[in-house]
Amino acid sequence: MRTFNEELNQHIAVMNTTQQCSESVEAAANLLMATFQSGNKLLLCGNGGSAADAQHIAAEFVVRYEQKRRALPAIALTTDSSILTAHANDFDFDSVFARQIEALGNAGDTLIAISTSGNSKNIIQAAQIARAKNLNVIALTGKSGGGLINIATLTITVPSSVTARIQETHILIGHYWCGVVEERLNVSESA
């Protein structure tokens, strides 16, 4: 029978081993800051819980994380039900995010592509189109990183094969990025 302490210990163990990703997490924070400073935007995509994470992170950038500051351009490609359902009906679901990047993405923008396996077909296609259009791609993955690691500009692969632990770590990383960007942005705007 599962206990909360077992779950908590598993969570702590994954968080501790995720320290090996610190350099990539910091590099991605710098890339996000450069994206916003240059007047470009952030696009995010994922499926299921990763879609929720994409929306969560986008909301933190557009509205605020901890500090009052200017809104930052971030769009979760998971939120427009008309686009999602029309595309899935008229084409297929594998290209649902790629199509939106084709319409909305510009060189210099950044895509955060979230897939716990790194093998979600629609996330891989999104990353491919993003790279073809000269967007930066930050991949948030887990397990072995999957095919996404061969496409992304930067990859953060959470060292776990448990989807829940990977997603918990992804949102921690997303919160860190929001805090760092917000802090640096406020410092640079007040200087």
Interval 104-120: pLDDT, tens: 999 999 999 999 999 99
C-alpha 1: how far from chain center: 34
Mean pLDDT score across all residues of the chain: 96
Q: Give pLDDT, residue 65.
A: 96
Number of domains in the chain: 1
Per-residue pLDDT averaged across 83-109, rounded? 97
Q: How far is CA 122 from CA 47, 91, 125, in A?
A: 9, 12, 5
In a domain, 69, yes or no: yes
Alpha-carbon Rg for the chain in angstroms:
16
In a domain, 25, yes or no: no
Per-residue pLDDT averaged across 42-66, rounded? 97
Q: Give pLDDT, residue 187.
A: 64
Q: Say if CB 147 and CB 124 are below 8 A apart.
A: yes
d(CA 95, CA 113) in angstroms, rounded, equals 13
Residue 73: pLDDT band (50, 70, 90) is very high
> Which residue range is the domain that position 109 belongs to?
40-190
Phi, psi dihedrals of residue 143, rounded to the nearest 5°: 50, -125
Helix, strand and coil content of the chain, in percent to the nearest 5, comes to 60, 10, 30
In a domain, 32, yes or no: no
In a domain, 178, yes or no: yes
- Give yes or no for residue 38 having a pLDDT over 60: yes
d(CA 70, CA 90) in angstroms, rounded, equals 38
Per-residue pLDDT averaged across 36-63, rounded? 98
* Dihedral sign from CA coordinates of 77, 78, 81, 87: positive
Q: Say if CB 18 and CB 142 are below 8 A apart.
A: no
In a domain, 13, yes or no: no
Q: pTM of this prediction?
A: 0.96
Q: Say if CB 183 and CB 64 are below 8 A apart.
A: no
In a domain, 3, yes or no: no
- The dihedral region occupied by 31, where left means phi > 0, alpha psi between -120 and 50, and beta the remainder, is alpha
In a domain, 55, yes or no: yes
In a domain, 35, yes or no: no
- Give yes or no for residue 191 having a pLDDT over 60: no
Residue 144: pLDDT band (50, 70, 90) is very high
Question: Looking at residue 78, which CATH number applies to its domain?
Answer: 3.40.50.10490
